């Protein structure tokens, strides 16, 4: 008890001293502050996003995060396309985790229409989802290594990612945006040759991944750059509601594959991967271990895939209703909300990509860091900007204001008119969609 | 505590130095694509009834099929705008008569925007 | 007189320096690429980059000090070129030498770093300013161990001239072995001097874009890049001349040995670049002052003792 009190006292004394010092230094320190913009265009950002960083020397005092440069209005566009067309639009929400988005969308519609997909289709969905997780995490490992100036690891992990992409192209027909999901199942069957290639790739990758895990654990320079960076403790992680590897690195098991099994995950054993480091190092370890886990899932599902059909016929018009569908994207929990009004087009689609949840803790993670650690801290949540971006009009005079589609269009025309461009005269090319 | 070392990747680095590069020279070598890769569409007008399912389901409004002949003597013409096409091959799945299929042709770049509109 | 001018301007002076600098850049990039399992650039890539930059438009920031902005790349290149004159390349004597040229070379080497600092400072950009401050911070970190390591062999040789040192070590090749710790320090702090990974935080691409060069473009950038290439040759030749003075007295053979030595040092530099992540600037300072400076100091003390023993 005494010791604790002593410690407390000491801490208080230290705090008081610091306060005094800070009062004296406040003027000088405020004069020494500089504000630097990282983004919208910056080599460390793979997509446009703006971080206004206030620096004191090399230390970050404050960070203002601005997202919204690549808002594409996919949710709105979904409302004017049929469900079949939307499949391919939803797949393009994210270039890396496209399969998980289309799985969530298909699952929701299948639930609305009341159809159950064949088991074989569910297994194929799982195989593609895990392959996608592999390539996404390998991509992340490369990007993270590049952000800390370790280009050799960057090239190695991207070289190995190429093997996963080859298997994906063989199974699905494309390297990204696989287009394998359809409402009621999958579009392509998996044959024995593909299974052999997948297993061969898994064997190769296992060796590589174990090497990377060993490298991250034992390389002194890597740990000097990763340990203690971007701390987000368990309490903070819960407070900010982060998901995926960021939460799992803080010891929170939020894997949807285990909590709420979808597709064939109820039959496949999935071991949870968590870590207690709660920093960038922990996130790296969690991601590499997750990849090893993915390999096990792929092996299990390739060996235990049942025979049968790969798809059932789905109706063109989906019964009215609303549904929430969750999947585990490589970056965390992915939520789709779909409302149908009984026609062949959805009434409303709402996508909450995992990056959107992870942005909330970013400012907290950046504060107190060195400038040199900003890129890796941002990269550590594996941000996907275009999935995340939303449009909201914040008018400082009249508070927040919600605009409807027509109002928004009028606003954009006037916005451009002020800058001397009259877009109302521009003839839009006629793009006809059959209802 | 695990023993840590500086520059642990050096063994792999030296090993890779003597290995054949994983990349290829784009100017000299040809890109290998896998067997099932979705490339440019192939159209076989023999069985086409002009039902328009492919046109209806196309997410990018890239394909159009018109009947230039009469109702009895059909003369179907399909136009594909490869600039719009996203190579999802939903039209191949949608076609009830299996008139559409995909090839492994992926060299479709062009300097001219008009050339992207291809007659299938 | 004419011979001297040819020596300084063409071979083994400035023209050779520029061409060899580009060649070493190519070699560096190729080794780096092959280590990473990539193809790497074709042999003419550095020259093509240089020529392309020559033809590009020069954009000078409105806020910058325009005179300094234009002059600094040339000064930087001139400093490296004049330092190179004092290093023996063809044969065992350099184009020009006098007692104390080692100190001059070290100071000329510092000028290029100062030029980079000023270039960043005068271009007034945020990234450039941070880059220039980091350049200066890093200079204070590596300069002491680098200078101590390079001056330590001179203590035994009892001369401050590079040519004189080469001659001394040629006569007493056993003393080369004493300087091995200094060679180790010089290789690492030389990497810091050249601002290459893992000590590239002054121009860290993912943090501050490219640091001091961020506002530079066109011809000015081309000259800066050339001066960086030449600096690579300078540091490699300096280390090879001081620590590996293997001579045969046949000029052509010496030249071949010189090429082999510098390429060998470059391979070490490239390997160092590829096996480590970038250090933060505070880590750079810590490494240089906590590990490298003590080693260099011990080396100096040992060399002083040996020198004392020699005079006895």
Q: Report the chain C residue with the minimal C-alpha distance to residue A37.
A: C126
The pLDDT, as a whole number, for residue C128 is 87
CA distance A360 to A356: 8
Q: Token pair 């991250």 is at which residue?
A: A216
Q: What's the token pair of residue A87?
A: 């499949």
Question: DSSP strand E in C163-255: where?
Answer: none
| pLDDT mean over A257-278 | 87
The pLDDT, as a whole number, for residue C254 is 82
How many CB atoms are located within 10 Å of the residue B56 CB? Answer: 16
CA distance A158 to A164: 10
Residue B59: inside a domain: yes
pLDDT tens digits, one per residue of A110-156: 988 889 889 899 999 999 999 999 999 999 999 999 888 888 889 99
The pLDDT, as a whole number, for residue A435 is 34
Q: How high does pLDDT run on average in chain C?
A: 86
CA distance A198 to A67: 38
Residue B3: inside a domain: no
CB B57 within 8 A of CB B95: no
Domain with residue B61: its CATH number is 3.30.70.3270
Beta bridge pairs of residue C106? none
Q: Token pair 């390999």 is at which residue?
A: A295
The pLDDT, as a whole number, for residue C27 is 92
Count how many domains chain C has.
Answer: 1
pLDDT tens digits, one per residue of C60-73: 888 888 888 888 88
CA distance A151 to A149: 6
Question: DSSP strand E in A93-207: where?
Answer: 181-182, 185-186
pLDDT band for position A421 (cuts 50, 70, 90): confident
How many CB atoms are located within 10 Å of the residue A232 CB? Answer: 27
Count how many domains chain B has.
Answer: 1
The pLDDT, as a whole number, for residue A14 is 53
Chain B positions in Cβ-Cβ contact with residue C33 (cut-off 8 Å): 21
CA distance B110 to C2: 58
Q: Please tell me which of the candidates C36, C129, C206 has its beta carbon nearest to residue A149.
A: C206
Task: Answer whether residue A223 shows pLDDT above 90.
Answer: no
Q: How high does pLDDT run on average in chain A?
A: 83
| Contact residues for C82 (Cβ-Cβ < 8 A; gap 6+) | C108
The pLDDT, as a whole number, for residue A400 is 63
Task: Answer whether residue C75 shows pLDDT above 50.
Answer: yes
Q: Which alpha helices (DSSP H) does chain B contain, by range? A: 10-17, 53-57, 90-94
Closest-CA residue to A242 (of A231, A258, A227): A231
CA distance A90 to A41: 26
Phi and psi (nearest 5°) for A267? -100, -20
Query: Which residue out of C184, C275, C287 would a mutagenesis test of the B interface target, given it has the greatest number of B Cβ atoms within 10 Å?
Result: C275
pLDDT tens digits, one per residue of C155-197: 888 888 888 888 888 777 777 888 888 888 889 888 888 888 8
How deeply is B90 buried, as exposed, middle or buried, from its count of CB atoms within 10 A (0-12, 13-18, 19+)?
buried
Q: How far is CA B14 from CA B4, B7, B8, C50, C231, in A?
A: 20, 12, 11, 30, 26
Contact between B56 and A221 using a beta-carbon 8 Å cutoff: no
Contact between B23 and C37 using a beta-carbon 8 Å cutoff: yes
| Containing structural domain, residue B100 | 26-119
| Contact residues for C145 (Cβ-Cβ < 8 A; gap 6+) | C185, C188, C189, C288, C292, C293, C295, C296
pLDDT band for position A393 (cuts 50, 70, 90): low
Task: Answer whether residue C98 shows pLDDT above 90.
Answer: no
Exposure b/e, A46-71, CB count within 10 A at least 16 = b = ebbbbbebebeebebbebebebebee
DSSP letter (8 states) at residue B32: P
Say if residue A410 is preceded by a cis peptide, omega within 30 of 0.
no
pLDDT band for position C52 (cuts 50, 70, 90): very high
CB C163 within 8 A of CB C97: yes
pLDDT band for position A434 (cuts 50, 70, 90): very low
Q: What's the token pair of residue A295?
A: 């390999």
Angle at which helices C218-243 and C101-123 pack, to 10 degrees? 150
Please report the number of interchain residue pairs, chain B to chain C, with beta-carbon separation below 8 angstroms.
36
CB C254 within 8 A of CB C247: yes
CA distance A108 to B59: 20
Contact between C37 and B7 using a beta-carbon 8 Å cutoff: no
The pLDDT, as a whole number, for residue C26 is 93
Contact between B4 and A223 using a beta-carbon 8 Å cutoff: yes
DSSP letter (8 states) at residue B116: G
B6 and C CB contact within 8 Å: yes
* Cα of A253 vs its chain's centroid, Å: 17
CATH topology of domain A74-388: Cytochrome-c3 Hydrogenase; chain B (1.10.645)
ipTM: 0.87
| pLDDT mean over A168-182 | 87
CB A362 within 8 A of CB A64: no
CB C212 within 8 A of CB C131: yes
Instruction: Collapse the DSSP code of A399 into the 3-class scheme (helix H, G, I; strand E, B; otherwise coil) and give the result.
Output: strand
| pLDDT mean over C44-53 | 91
Residue B33: inside a domain: yes
**Residues of B within an 8 Å Cβ radius of A:** 2-9, 12-13, 16, 22, 33-38, 52, 55-61, 86-90, 93-94, 102
Chains that touch C (3 or more CB pairs under 8 A): A, B
pLDDT band for position C267 (cuts 50, 70, 90): very high
How many CB atoms are located within 10 Å of the residue B43 CB? Answer: 21
Instruction: Collapse the DSSP code of C99 into the 3-class scheme (helix H, G, I; strand E, B; otherwise coil) and give the result.
Output: coil
Task: Answer whether residue A2 shows pLDDT above 60.
Answer: no
Question: In this predicted model, which residue has the larger pLDDT, C94 or B28?
Answer: B28
Beta bridge pairs of residue C105? none
CA distance A203 to A209: 10
Q: What's the token pair of residue A410?
A: 């009028």
Q: What number of helices (H) and strands (E) belong to chain A? A: 17, 10
What are the sequence ranges of the domains in chain A? Answer: 2-66, 74-388, 394-425
| Contact residues for A176 (Cβ-Cβ < 8 A; gap 6+) | A95, A96, A98, A165
CA distance B60 to A151: 38
Say if residue C12 is preceded by a cis peptide, omega within 30 of 0.
yes
Chain B positions in Cβ-Cβ contact with residue C36 (cut-off 8 Å): 16
Angle at which helices C126-157 and C293-311 pack, to 10 degrees? 20
The pLDDT, as a whole number, for residue C23 is 92
The pLDDT, as a whole number, for residue B19 is 86
């Amino acid at each position: 008890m005494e010791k604790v009190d002593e410690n407390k006292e000491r801490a208080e004394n230290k705090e008081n001293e610091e306060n005094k010092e800070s009062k004296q230094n406040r003027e000088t320190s405020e004069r020494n502050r500089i504000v630097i913009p990282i983004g919208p265009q910056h080599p460390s950002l793979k997509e446009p996003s703006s971080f206004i960083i206030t620096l004191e020397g090399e230390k970050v005092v404050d960070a203002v995060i601005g997202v919204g440069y690549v808002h594409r209005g996919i949710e709105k566009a979904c409302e004017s396309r049929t469900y079949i067309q939307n499949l391919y639009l939803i797949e393009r929400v994210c270039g890396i985790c496209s399969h998980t988005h289309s799985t969530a969308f298909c699952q929701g519609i299948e639930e609305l229409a009341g159809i159950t997909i064949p088991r074989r289709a569910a297994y194929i969905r799982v195989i593609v989802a895990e392959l996608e997780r592999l390539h996404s995490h390998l991509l992340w490992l490369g990007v993270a290594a590049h952000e800390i100036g370790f280009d050799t690891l960057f090239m190695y992990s991207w070289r190995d990612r190429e093997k996963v992409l080859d298997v994906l192209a063989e199974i699905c027909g494309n390297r990204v945006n696989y287009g394998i999901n359809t409402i009621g199942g999958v579009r392509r069957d998996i044959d024995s040759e593909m299974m052999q290639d997948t297993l061969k790739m898994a064997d190769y990758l296992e060796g590589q991944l174990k090497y990377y895990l060993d490298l991250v654990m034992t390389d002194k320079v890597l740990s000097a750059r990763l340990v203690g960076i971007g701390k987000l403790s368990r309490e903070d992680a819960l407070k900010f509601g982060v998901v995926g590897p960021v939460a799992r690195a803080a010891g929170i098991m939020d894997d949807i594959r285990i909590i709420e099994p979808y597709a064939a995950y109820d039959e496949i054993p999935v071991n949870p991967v968590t870590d207690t480091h709660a920093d960038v190092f922990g996130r790296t370890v969690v991601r590499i271990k997750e990849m090893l886990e993915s390999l096990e899932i792929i092996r299990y599902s390739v060996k235990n895939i049942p025979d049968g059909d790969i798809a059932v016929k789905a109706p063109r018009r989906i019964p009215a209703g609303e549904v929430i569908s969750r999947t585990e994207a490589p970056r965390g929990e992915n939520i789709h909300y779909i409302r149908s009004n009984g026609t062949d087009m959805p009434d409303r689609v709402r996508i909450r990509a995992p990056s959107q949840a992870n942005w909330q803790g970013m400012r907290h993670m950046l504060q107190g860091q060195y400038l040199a650690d900003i890129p890796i801290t941002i990269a550590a949540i594996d941000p996907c900007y275009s999935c995340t971006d939303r449009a909201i009009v914040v008018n400082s005079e009249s508070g927040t204001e919600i605009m409807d589609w027509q109002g928004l269009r009028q606003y954009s025309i006037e916005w451009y008119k002020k800058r001397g461009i009259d877009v109302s005269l521009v003839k839009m090319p006629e793009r006809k969609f059959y209802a | 505590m695990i023993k840590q070392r500086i520059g642990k990747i050096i063994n792999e680095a030296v090993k890779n130095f003597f290995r054949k590069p994983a990349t290829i020279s784009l100017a000299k070598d040809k890109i290998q694509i896998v067997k099932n890769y979705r490339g440019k569409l192939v159209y076989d007008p023999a069985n086409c009834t002009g039902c328009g399912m492919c046109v209806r389901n196309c997410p990018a409004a890239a394909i159009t099929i018109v009947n230039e002949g009469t109702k009895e003597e059909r003369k179907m013409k399909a136009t594909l705008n490869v600039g719009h096409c996203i190579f999802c091959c939903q039209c191949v799945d949608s076609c009830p008569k299996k008139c559409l299929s995909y090839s492994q042709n992926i060299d479709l770049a062009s300097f001219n925007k008009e050339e992207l509109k291809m007659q299938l | 007189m004419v011979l001297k001018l040819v020596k300084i301007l063409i071979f083994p002076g400035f023209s050779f320096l520029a061409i060899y600098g580009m060649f070493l850049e190519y070699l560096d990039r190729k080794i780096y690429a092959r280590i990473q399992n990539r193809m790497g650039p074709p042999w003419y890539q550095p020259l093509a980059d240089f020529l392309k930059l020559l033809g590009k438009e020069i954009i000078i920031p409105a806020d910058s000090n325009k005179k300094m902005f234009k002059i600094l790349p040339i000064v930087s290149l001139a400093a490296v070129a004049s330092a190179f004159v004092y290093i023996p390349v063809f044969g065992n004597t350099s184009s020009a030498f006098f007692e104390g040229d080692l100190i001059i070379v070290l100071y000329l080497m510092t000028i290029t770093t100062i030029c980079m600092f000023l270039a960043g400072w005068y271009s007034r950009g945020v990234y450039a300013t941070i880059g220039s401050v980091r350049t200066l911070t890093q200079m204070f970190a590596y300069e002491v161990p680098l200078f101590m390591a390079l001056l330590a062999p001179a203590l035994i040789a009892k001369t401050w001239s590079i040519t004189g040192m080469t001659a001394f070590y040629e006569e007493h090749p056993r003393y080369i072995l004493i300087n091995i710790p200094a060679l180790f320090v010089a290789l690492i702090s030389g990497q810091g001097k050249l601002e290459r990974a893992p000590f590239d935080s002054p121009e860290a691409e993912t943090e501050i874009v490219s640091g001091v060069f961020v506002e530079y473009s066109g011809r000015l950038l081309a000259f800066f890049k050339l001066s960086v290439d030449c600096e690579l040759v300078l540091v490699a030749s300096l280390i090879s001349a001081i620590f590996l003075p293997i001579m045969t007295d046949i000029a052509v053979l010496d030249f071949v040995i010189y090429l082999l030595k510098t390429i060998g040092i470059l391979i070490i530099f490239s390997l160092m670049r590829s096996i480590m992540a970038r250090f933060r600037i505070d880590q750079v300072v810590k490494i240089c002052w906590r590990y490298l400076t003590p080693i260099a100091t011990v080396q100096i003390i040992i060399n002083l003792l040996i020198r004392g023993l020699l005079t006895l």
